[in-house]
Structure 1
Amino acid sequence: MVRILKVGGYITFFILALMYFMPKVSSYYYVEQELEKHKIILSHEEVLDNGFSLQLNHVDVSFDSIESASIQSVKVKVFVAYNSIYIEDITLESILGSFFPLHIKDAEMSYSIFKPLEVMAKANGDFGSASAEIHLLDRNISATIRPSKLMLQKYKRTLLMMKKQENGEYIYDKAF
């Protein structure tokens, strides 16, 4: 019994040490290069390795050479069974203002090995709140949006592209 606990302790220590010393900054720069292949450019960011997480501050996002958003903070946590990205204070560029409110308070994406073909996402902002499931095998995104009063008043055209439910929520379902 003592031997089993010792082996379990060593395995746990090894996994924690591996996560702590993993080259997170180098991995981030690799991901950044891969995003550039899809015309998504992250710039002006400050990259900090916080042991078990990676934090990015003051990130500017461009898509196809068009400034799209600025993000105050991004925290990436990579664990063995559960990975998450938490984003705070997203400000979209004014060009998107006719389609969507420009401020998103926070957003979180998570992935678990217990559901390997799904990515879960949640967001809150001036638009209201949303939750989404991204199905990797089917290449489908399904989102439920609970719109705010601002979204209902000023962005009715955007809501028309979604299916309204009886409880006031809107469903967006699209293959990508």
Structure 2
Amino acid sequence: MAQTPSNMLPLGTKAPDFLLPATNFNTNFNFDECRGNKGTLVMFICNHCPFVLHVIDEIVMISNDYRVQGLGIVAISSNDIIKYPQDSPEKMADFALENKIDFPYLFDETQEVAKAYNAACTPDFYLFDNRDQLVYRGQLDDSRPANAIPVSGSDLRNAIDAIIYNRKVVEPQKPSIGCNIKWK
């Protein structure tokens, strides 16, 4: 299984805007509609990646734990659906239902949003503060499908806690590792 690291967009980067269809809400969302009053988590995921499948339950738990505390959450799939039909919008809607994803799961057909975020892999995590400035990018935690480390979400949870409780986000930040985005 290929292991592609995050590109690590520079901290302080302003959140790129987008307008994408939500496969699980039957409407379009832009960044403003996804943002939370404490901060916003933008994730690049897909349906079939073993790295995403390994952590999807923790992603949903993070959403459930932090949305009530003012964190906006959105997931985006940017994979080429011609070569990877398992990532089609219809299958994204099924994946969202099966995994109880109740935050917007957006389809980036043109891949322009993935390029704007300099996304490289799935999963890839971008955490923005309440001024839409990037404060964390990188891994969920040290767990991978092939190692025996339990999924905890510790790296991302620590960063989210920092923005919610007005603390400094810890550095250095480790890149996420996952399947490469399937470019056209």
Relative to the length of structure 2, the TM-score reads 0.27
Relative to the length of structure 1, the TM-score reads 0.28
Larger strand percent: 1
Larger relative contact order (Cα-Cα within 8 Å, sequence gap ≥ 6): 2
Structure of higher CA gyration radius: 1
